[in-house]
Amino acid sequence: MFSVNELLNFLIEKKYIEEKPAEVDGNIRISKFSSLANPTKSSICWAKKLLSVNEIPDCAVLICLLEQKHNPDLETIMIHVAEPRRVFGDIVEKFCPENEMSGIAPSAIIHPSVKIGKNVFIGPNCVIGEGCEIGDNTRIDANVTIYDHVKIGKRCHISSGAVIGADGHGYFLDENKRYKKIRHMGGVTIGDDVDIGANSCVDRGVLDDTTIGNNTKIDNLVQVAHNVVIGENCIITGGCQIGGSVKIGNNCWLAPNCIIKNGVSLVDEVRVCMDTTVIRNIQKTNVTVFGNPAKAIMPFYLDRCTDI
């Protein structure tokens, strides 16, 4: 795949390291990426935390923390960096880029009014409704349903089984005390660089659009109800339930299976822990909340401690 020299030059170019480590054989070839559990002599691994000497893998290269010690019995090349996860992600993107996909599967059903950008991939059995817009370089995997009047930005990835733009769960009692559905006349607007995981649902708004900001990443099996507004660069992990008309700021993190009550607002930089239920507005930034009901327990970013 690539040589150690190519790897080191890339890391220097990205300013992850200042110079090549001494006495390193730059001609060594790296043939694969491996986990710590399954290293090989020709693979590159990474460790997000400090390892004991005996835990260091017998691999070609290990991307590790600055404080990581070496095992003198191994020939593993240690590359010490401040953020191994970020560095490893950039290495993968550089040397093992994802294959670009474009084209429309013959079995896809697309309304004639749909506007499709350049280099878009639409997989088998997708259904895309009237008035939709799909931005350049967006990938829509098999069996995705996109209802009418949904706008999806550039470089998005919608995974299989997702449903975008279905009606939300909105009803009212008629004169006979029977529930009747409220007509949903809004749509869904999705920004650029957004990921939506498999079997997740994003409901259309009643009047205004449900909105997802640029670079937000939504995991599998997430429910985003009608009229929700999610900011930019958020992480929404598997099993989260976001009630109707919720507003989530920028740079927020929702851990697995958390619940955000309908109508609640979260400001920027709020982290919601696993299985937490948020029933009131969170009005302080840089905060982590936990429990049912949610309570502030610590800052989001420890290096920017504030009174929580």
Question: Phi/psi class of residue 72: alpha, beta or left (left: φ > 0; alpha: ψ in -120 to 50)?
Answer: alpha
**CA 274, CA 218: separation in Å to the nearest integer?**
15
Whole-number pLDDT of residue 127: 98
pLDDT below 50 — which residues of the chain?
Answer: 306-308
DSSP per position, the chain: -EEHHHHHHHHHHTTS-SSPPTT--TTPEE-EE--TTS--TTEEEE-SS---GGGS--SSEEEEETTPPP-TT--PEEEEES-HHHHHHHHHHHHSPPPP--EE-TT-EE-TT-EE-TT-EE-TT-EE-TT-EE-TT-EE-TT-EE-SSEEE-TT-EE-TT-EES---S-EEE-TTS-EEEPP----EEE-TT-EE-TT-EEPPPSSSPEEE-TT-EE-SS-EE-TT-EE-SS-EE-TT-EE-TT-EE-TT-EE-TT-EE-TT-EE-SSEEE-TT-EE-S-B--SSEEEETTTTEEEE-SSGGG----
Whole-number pLDDT of residue 299: 87
Whole-number pLDDT of residue 303: 63
pLDDT digits (tens, 9 = 90+) for 169-217: 999 999 999 999 999 999 999 999 999 999 999 999 999 999 999 999 9
Say whether pTM exceeds 0.75: yes
* Residues with active-site annotation: 226
DSSP per position, 146-209: E-SSEEE-TT-EE-TT-EES---S-EEE-TTS-EEEPP----EEE-TT-EE-TT-EEPPPSSSP
Whole-number pLDDT of residue 304: 56
User: Which domains does the chain carry?
Assistant: 2-95 (3.40.1390), 103-304 (2.160.10.10)
Nearest of 97, 80, 85, 94 to residue 16 by alpha carbon? 80
Whole-number pLDDT of residue 252: 98
Whole-number pLDDT of residue 305: 53
Whole-number pLDDT of residue 256: 98
Whole-number pLDDT of residue 98: 84
Whole-number pLDDT of residue 308: 44
